Structure 1
Amino acid sequence: MTHAKPAAVPSPGQIQETVERLLSAATLPPIVQAGHPVLRQEAAAFDGQLSADQLDRLIALMRQVMHEAPGVGLAAPQLGIPLQVAVLEDHYDVDSEAAALRNREPLDFLAILNPRYTAVGTGRAAFYEGCLSLNGLQAVVSRPDTVLLDFQTPGGEARQQEFSGWQARIVQHETDHLNGILYVDRAQLRSLSSNAEYAAHWAEPGIARAREGLGFSDGPAGISLA
């Protein structure tokens, strides 16, 4: 399976026009769904295409869309903007057993630009994962359980931060979006379930019952890590 290739680089004017159209709309923009080409393109690196005010307003809009969905992350391409900007936040109450097994800790709001991650160590974790751009579906994805993220803040500061557990999963999922990668590219496709069937058969903190019932492994699948 091949990696996403960059599309024609949009001009700063084109990006500004797209962003301003979304910011001036009377309603929240819809989340782009799988099949739209923007989700399969490598987004343009942020290098000042937007003013500080435009960027701040875009980040605020993305945070609002993420909350309304609801979700724990959103990448600019999911709003049709081919730009390497993403927002992350996880303060949802979850079952204590599931939180412990998944190593799920609250994640304070974070906006990241031009992120890149690398695995730390060899540990991996496999759990069901969904996406706001593949509405109604979930599948098991094996990912590194700890990653080091290099990114820029909206203010232009270069930062490096380590994430583990569910936070690492969120970081990887959203960074993948900026490189034209969807979680199904890395998933055990035999595990693919509608939300209704997942709730009826496989809803538990781990994946043991689903692995046995659907006949899949929990090792890495799909393309190599970015």
Structure 2
Amino acid sequence: MTNQPQIIELGNPILRKTAEPIKNLAEPQLQTLIDYLLAAAETHNGVGIAAPQVGVSKRLLLVASRPTLRYPNAPYMPPTPMLNPRIIAHSNETAKDWEGCLSVPGIRGLVSRHREVEVEYITRNGKTKRQIFTDFVARIFQHEYDHLEGKVFLDRVESSLDLMTENEYQKQVISSLPTR
């Protein structure tokens, strides 16, 4: 890995592979990979990222919700690395909203996601944790979890009419949002 975090893009076969479970939590490269994901999310204004997006097919994702240029009204949540995450339960209620992806630059899509998910994961310190995420943070988790399953948000868009460029998204959607 280079000093400047690099994101792989749609078309790279690693994005379509099911990521491998992390078996050795004491592996020294694991902490380096977590730090790399933290840096990549920060550098690229991401609110989440998964290891496959940096070319590593491991079941590791990061949720880092915060207001950014891409998501100005995102709630703040401390960056949270999640090893071997899994969805325990989810609400029946879903919501459609716009998503983008660091690995699919320049495109936004309207995607339906569960409003609430209960998840279990291992922290970077080796502790098992359960949490319930709602709304935008639940959306981030599900989006990043999809990367571990070899999926991208485009796979969940119902119609090509639910796509727009990043520039049009900024003009049509972001410019119409109330400021906090």
Partner residue in 2 for 1:5: none
Letter matched to residue 34 of structure 1: L
Q: CA deviation at 1:105?
A: 2.7
Q: Which runs of 5+ in 2 are unaligned?
A: none
- Runs of at least 4 residues of structure 1 off by over 6 A? none
Instruction: Determine the C-alpha separation between the residues in 2 that align with 1:180 and 1:84.
Output: 11
Report how many residues are paired. 174
Partner residue in 1 for 2:61: 86
Over 3 Å counting, the alpha-carbon distance change for 1:176 and 1:111 in structure 2 is same
Select the residue among 150, 157, 165 that pairs with 1:194: 165
Letter matched to residue 194 of structure 1: T
Over 3 Å counting, the alpha-carbon distance change for 1:198 and 1:80 in structure 2 is same
Letter matched to residue 59 of structure 2: Q
TM-score normalized by the length of structure 2: 0.88
Q: Is the 8 A contact 1:116 1:149 kept in 2?
A: yes
Q: Which runs of 5+ in 1 are unaligned?
A: 1-21, 206-226
SS in 2 for 1:177: helix
Q: Is the 8 A contact 2:99 2:109 kept in 1?
A: yes
Report the aligned-residue RMSD.
2.1
* 2:144 corresponds to 1:174: yes
Instruction: Determine the C-alpha separation between the residues in 2 that align with 1:50 and 1:156.
Output: 9
SS in 1 for 2:102: coil
Select the residue among 32, 36, 39 that pairs with 1:61: 36
Partner residue in 2 for 1:142: 112
Instruction: Determine the C-alpha separation between the residues in 2 that align with 1:200 and 1:181.
Output: 28
Partner residue in 2 for 1:222: none
Letter matched to residue 93 of structure 2: G
Select the residue among 87, 96, 112 that pairs with 2:82: 112
TM-score normalized by the length of structure 1: 0.71
Identity %: 31
Q: Is the 8 A contact 1:119 1:144 kept in 2?
A: no
